[in-house]
Chains A and B, each alone.
Chain A
Amino acid sequence: MSRSASSPERSEAAVALPHLRLQLLLRERPEWRGHPVAVVADESPDAPLLELSRPALLRGLRPGLRLGAARNIDLELRTAAIDDARMSAASEALAEGLTTFSPRVERADGRPGPLAAPGSYFLDPRGLAGLYGDQERWARSVHGYLAGRGFQSSVVLGDHPHRCLVLARAGAGVRVFEPDAERAEAATLDLRRVGLAERICGPLARLGVDTIGDLLELRADELTGRFGAEAATLHRLLSDGGQLPLQARRPVEPLAVQVTLEPPSADRERLAFVLKRSIDDLLAQTVARHRVLSAMILEFRMEPYGHDPRGRVRKLVDSERLRVEILEPATPTREGRAWMDLWRLRLGEIALPAPVEALALRGESVDPDQDQLVTAALAPPRDPRAATEALARVAAVLGRESVGVLRPRDAHLPEGSTRLVPLEGRLPLPAALPAPPELVALRRLARPRPLARGGGSWPRTPSPVDRADGPHRLSGGWWGADARPVAREYWYLHLRDGAIWWVFHDEVRSRWYLHAEVG
């Protein structure tokens, strides 16, 4: 680290969190510290090891080794997957956190290039000395913030963003560089230590080009043809004048409307009126962003004093003063009327222990579904949209899980041959109704009903068995975790009273069951 007593302000800063995947994993699994640990992209035997703890490295494991082979070498190796999606989410969360320290933060992996790697950030440190005393204190605050959240990091201040970046990746702690020192120090860095891919480092190393300084001694225009565009880009980024302007993140404002009621009110009509205007505002914001609302979250903030069921005044605790309701329509929509209909139904159901003094309405949005057409080739005429809306109203009142669709499943056992899944999106109606067949109604029991033994070969039935068709045998399931196989013999019992019972004898339980009635 080098600085003078009254150094001019440094214009660039970089933050690097080394082996971020591994750090994330060890934060989740602190008991693994000190053990051989490896991060993998997934847990399949062919997945390569991505990042390793020091104990794992000391045992001879290396990044790139297959997980199956690694386990064979080190039986104590602990592994977990941190895939790209989780990495990106963690990187984004860290970037969000760093905006506390600078209004301009850019993820290094936000721009494709040879230096793009997760866990590194560019920050604009200018103008912050006044808040922190000096820039070094600012840098220490950043470092301390990350340490407080359990992350190891390196923070570098300088004047060249990419040199700061590589210095941060190769170092630890907080360092401040003046331009010449920054240049000189960066030149000594081994290319492999600054996160460059082996496909760039390897061929360069063959020529004895091991450091950034070695690389910059070559001519950039001679690099492209020999080592590819990435090598040339790297040369340019690390050269004097290779700085690129920071592309800071833009915070995304949430969709939200807040209203204060003056005076506070518990009157449903008034609340509905206020709510309607809020919904219109929210929808306007949504339309402006070319999005569609998929859910609304309504928070009621109530007055401190309300009435109990007997009408006596009582003070509400804090948790009672805030009530949150969430509504999701059948399909994302911008239609105010549809939203209002749903809210009216919901308002009619909820109890408000005190007048509402404020409400906040937030929206979750998605990209609009372009397919707005509904096939109308139905006979007899049906209105699937109305059906969908009707079901959405049922779900609004009774809850989402109250509406489901029966889907077939490939299985031998009758009870396993269908499953109920919650309705997603529009109601799945067939293009045309089939011609009514000769239907025989079969009322199948969701769960077979045990039957008492009868006098002879059959179970007890409400009337005597005139005839029996069968058996139809089902057996299997020997592979189940509880190792309880299935062995059933099914019969159709024609009863004297005209009913037909579909029964089976369960050999494992030595019991008769009724599975369906026919007729």
Chain B
Amino acid sequence: MPGLLWVKSHHSFLHGASSPEELVDRAAELGWTEIALTDRHGVYGIVRAHVRAKELGTLRLVPGVELDVVHDDTPRILTLHPRGREGWANLCRLVTQGHLRGPKGSALVTVAEVAAHARDLMAATPDPALLEALADPFGNRLHGLVARHRRATDGAHETTLRRVAAARGLSLVASPEVLYHHPERRPLQDVVTCVRVGTTLHQAGTRLAGNELHGIPTPEAHRALHADHAALLEATEAYLARCRFGLDDLRYRYPAEALPSGETPESWLARLTHEGARERYDGAVPADVQAQLERELEVITDLEYGGYFLTMHEIVHHCRAEGILCQGRGSAANSAVCFCLGITAVDPVRMGLLFERFLSRERAEPPDIDLDIEHERREEVIQHVYARYGRRRAAMVANNIRYRTRSALREVGKVLGVDRTDLDSLARLASHWGGGVDDALFAQAGLDPERPIHRHLARLTNDLLDAPRHLSIHPGGFLLGHLPVDELVPIEPATMEGRTVVQWDKYDVEALGLFKVDLLGLGALTCIRKSFELLKDDPAAPHAMVEVPTSDAATYSMCSEGDTVGVFQIESRAQMAMLPRLRPQVFYDLVIQVAIVRPGPIQGDMVHPYLRRRVGQERVVYPHENLRPILEKTLGVPIFQEQVMKLAVSAGGYTAGEADQLRRDMAAWRSAGKIEKHHERLTRGMIERGIDPAFAERVFDQIRGFGEYGFPESHAASFALLAYITAYLRCHHPAAFACALLNSQPMGFYSAATIVDDAKRHGVEVRPIDIERSRWDHALEDGAIRMGFRIVKGLGEKERPVLDALPRPVADMETLVRRTGLGQKALVALAESGAFQPWGLGRRDALWQARGMRGVAGTLGGTAARTQLAFAALAPEDAVLWDYQVSGHSTRGHPMERYRAQLRHRRHPRSDELRRMPDGRRTEYVGLVITRQRPGTATGVVFLTLEDEAGFVNVVVWADVFEAHRTVAKTSTVLGVAGKVQRGEEGVVHLIAERLWPFRAGDLPSRSRDFH
């Protein structure tokens, strides 16, 4: 029986309209036994097709590719299919070569290049000229490809192809050019064609296919179509029979690290591990730790993963040598070996973490270690990896950027010719994170969902969701190989200079059992390192993470008050509201704190039961006694991802493998559809085992919520460690911490202004920008923070070196310009920031002077203005306003102070006064909006954080109130809120809004960080 030779998935970016899985499923459903996936210019979709075909077991997946080959100055189509491993390597190298030539996203190869890589490859082309040109290099491995789609030109074209094939003694094969799995997907293929060529459906003309015959036909229809030349089908069958390569034939070895003489990877790993253990435990390694290490090393040896751990160790060692902070995260924190090698920072034995969650013989998956690195120095580490392994043995893993609701709406709408303003409204209203398009969205935008164009828009947008748009780079994932990577998978240049990327993403790499090293940037590590640097002259302060005292009561007390601006992972509005309720006292409490304020536990309605049990308001009960060991740590409430998986096994009757699939489905992007298939099985299994149905449903709700936000316990522990360290620094060294945090921006939850104001409220003196004292970075000065030039808008990296090197004192502007060569824009920015006040120059006077600096040949030189006028000094409140406009913060006061007298007159309280009000008191508060949030789990409720000179007020705006005051809520910089004080038992205070009004605040720029 013949197979299909020429099939493109939606990984042929904007050519195909169906996923590899859909194509494989459909082919199998129709009775095909062989199908070749030939995506354009690459093998982007081949792994997914391979995995799906293996799952089905009834269909053989033949890897292939479609390339543009330049002949007679014209690109012509060629499909290639490897016969064996050598053919695959040649195909990968050829595709790599093609990508190096063309613009990003396309590959062009020459006939000569194809010929040079022809060995062990089968080839088929519908182009008669190319058939002629490649006949010699390929010989009888080359075939003419007949594709009949009932086009008017088919007959003449086929006649020419036959003539050329006959003249060169070549055979013909038959296959449709498949662009989608089912004719109902044809409209989407028309749409993506229009997107690709940049036109609309009305104007596309013949750029669209002429009919719907590019789906997968039934074998019977295919035979009938070629009934006049049955030999074609036999030849096709013979062609595919010669293509025996499958992705399972890829044998992958991890690159061998340089080893000392006489050592194997396993022996060297064991030695390093034991050395590290002695260091970790001060020479006295506990017996249980020793036993755990032996067990882990045995598994690592059996699975031959030693080299991977050595590579991670080498990278961490390099970071340590260069003074770059790093820490492993994720499931690697379950490993004692990783802990002793210094890759992770959490002791898994002490925490009772499960090694098998990270590595197990049963799963036989390669380890996956994510290494968080200071975000400002991550690039150094990446370049180290490239330098150590070489560009051909190290390439970054891809990231498929996929259509989400907004992007799909815009593209489809443009192609359909939807009114631009209507489209803009729909796109803005659509959920940023997905959810598709439905009638409710149209209604919200004031549009009729029944209009044909809107029906098309909804249907096609939903069809386009998840389809890949283009290839990007995974933030830090590296694929390393002992052989050149381009013999394993094609490599192409990334947009970012100096980067190359393989054509597979992290899911593909995992599916094939390849090793990936993830190097991720984390702002908190930068902040911590900078804090240590600032404290280097303080002998009482810690200078490394291991020196931070554990179990500091003051730190936990501060966290329990919700006083956590700048603290990693627990600084958000929601975290601050939770902390006084959970009141962490020990490290594990922080682990739970980090994990509990997440969609998983929230949607599973696990948060309140846990809190009530924690304070003794509710008895700790278990849904089933078998579940006690799983849930004991969290008082009978599942909070971590592993607990859910264990529940699936113990209570739901899943096997370990099925539970792992559940974990994968929870972690997959757009996991909603994948998770739902577990619902009936899992809940039924739990109920059958005596679990309360309501609890079973809540567990499944939690699984839904876990989606992309599932937190394994080890991951939460790694993050909790950083949370504790940043909290400790904030508590005991607030000036250094705030200074380091400001120098690490952008990062975190709050603006620089909020960080400065928070530091001031905690007794830290913050000194303004000063031309005689400031440097580029913020710095400590006699225990105070001296703000740096980096925060001034209008100054950038160009000005950094000259300002850092500026000899002091400067004394006047002419000297400044002479020494630095600063341009007028920079001078104006400095003048407006008040940097020249030490010279006795008010800002306006300085501005006049800065604008008047004359120069020679277009540059500013040293000649001052002929006249220096005296301008009115800024009022103090205006100085604060200017500070915000120019540098996003002020050391001179808070913007709300200027209105305080007026607000007092109208009986509007300050935030500290509101926080002391009793529960139920009605009041009207006015404050500066600093955050707006509308979490997906909150059913339309909007959370605002307002700030004044005395602190924050958390405002809850129910959906109906928000809609009634929509414009004001979305646009006001300073907002008035009339509402009722709600005081929780733990002292957490909210203002429940009943009415909002705008408060005129002049030219105050918005500093609100808006989320969703």
Contacts and interface: CB of A to CB of B under 8 A. Distances in A.
A226 B852 contact: yes
Contact of B190 (A60, A67, A71, A476): A476
A479 B866 contact: no
Contacts of A73: 966-967, 970-971
A490 B150 CA distance: 10
A206 B832 contact: yes
Contacts of B848: 207, 226
Contacts of A226: 848, 851-852, 865
A251 interface: no
Nearest to B208: A476
B210 A225 contact: no
B851 A208 contact: no
Given A208-B872, A222-B865, A411 B446 contact: no
Contacts of B453: 479, 481
A266 B147 CA distance: 75
A409 B205 CA distance: 8
Given A206-B844, A226-B848, A476-B211, A45 B967 contact: no
B424 A68 contact: yes
Q: Which of B152, B207, B854 has the most CB of A within 10 A?
A: B152
B205 A60 contact: no
Contacts of A207: 844, 847-848, 871
Interface in B421-462: 421, 423-425, 428-429, 446, 452-453, 456
A45 B424 contact: yes
B452 A412 contact: no
B420 A45 contact: yes
Interface in A50-72: 59-60, 67-68, 71-72
A472 B152 contact: yes
Contact of B211 (A72, A410, A473): A473
B261 interface: no
Interface string B227-258: 00000000000000000000000000000000
A44 B420 contact: yes
Among A45, A73, A75, A225, the most chain B Cβ lie within 10 Å of the Cβ of A45
A197 interface: no
Contacts of A452: none
B416 A479 contact: yes
A453 B871 CA distance: 95
Contacts of A72: 425, 428-429, 970
Contacts of B847: 206-207
Nearest to B869: A218
Band of interface residues on B: 35 or more
Given A206-B832, A479-B201, A472 B421 contact: no
Interface string A149-163: 000000000000000
Nearest to A219: B867
Given A225-B852, A490-B152, A68 B425 contact: yes
B452 A481 contact: yes
Nearest to A474: B210
Contacts of A472: 150-152, 154
A275 to B, nearest CB: 48
A317 to B, nearest CB: 48
Interface in B141-191: 149-152, 154, 187, 190
Contacts of B150: 471-473, 489
A489 B213 CA distance: 12
Given A68-B428, A225-B851, A473-B150, A60 B968 contact: yes
A73 B962 CA distance: 12
Nearest to A44: B420
A412 B971 CA distance: 50
B206 A71 contact: no
Interface in B830-854: 832, 844, 847-848, 851-852, 854
Contacts of B585: none
B905 interface: no
A475 B832 CA distance: 66
Contacts of A45: 420-421, 423-424
A475 B424 contact: no
B212 interface: yes
Contacts, number: 107
A227 interface: yes
Contacts of B609: none
Given A60-B967, A208-B844, A412 B425 contact: no
Given A207-B847, A476-B208, A71 B967 contact: no
Interface residues of A, number: 40
Interface in A206-236: 206-208, 218-219, 222, 225-227
A84 interface: no
Interface in A265-301: none
A506 interface: no
Contacts of B212: 475-476
A222 B852 contact: yes
A206 B965 CA distance: 33
Nearest to B874: A208
B967 A412 contact: no
B425 A71 contact: yes
B808 interface: no
Nearest to B149: A473
A300 B644 CA distance: 95
Interface string B844-883: 1001100110100000000001110101100000000000
Contacts of A412: 205-206, 208, 210
Contacts of A222: 852, 865-867
Contacts of B970: 72-73
A518 to B, nearest CB: 14
Contacts of B416: 479
B205 to A, nearest CB: 3
Nearest to B204: A410
B420 A74 contact: no
B202 interface: yes
Contact of A60 (B420, B424, B869, B971): B971
B210 A473 contact: yes
A473 B213 CA distance: 9
B105 interface: no
A253 to B, nearest CB: 44
B998 interface: yes
Contacts of B866: 222
B650 interface: no
Contacts of A208: 844, 871-872
Interface string B818-836: 0000000000000010000
B972 interface: yes
A483 interface: yes
A482 B968 CA distance: 41
A207 B871 CA distance: 7
Contacts of A483: 452
Nearest to A66: B424
Contacts of A68: 421, 424-425, 428
A303 interface: no
Interface string B204-227: 011110111100000000000000
A59 B968 CA distance: 8
Interface in B77-105: none
A364 interface: no
Given A45-B423, A472-B150, A475-B210, 6 more contacts: A43-B421, A60-B971, A68-B424, A72-B429, A206-B832, A412-B206
In the A-B complex, list the 3 residue pairs whose CB atoms are closest, starting with the nearest: A410-B205, A45-B424, A226-B851
24 contacts: A43-B420, A43-B421, A45-B420, A60-B967, A60-B971, A67-B421, A68-B424, A72-B970, A74-B967, A203-B851, A207-B848, A207-B871, A219-B867, A410-B206, A412-B208, A472-B151, A475-B210, A475-B212, A476-B210, A476-B212, A478-B187, A478-B456, A479-B416, A481-B452
Interface of B: 149-152, 154, 187, 190, 201-202, 205-208, 210-213, 416, 420-421, 423-425, 428-429, 446, 452-453, 456, 832, 844, 847-848, 851-852, 854, 865-867, 869, 871-872, 966-968, 970-972, 998
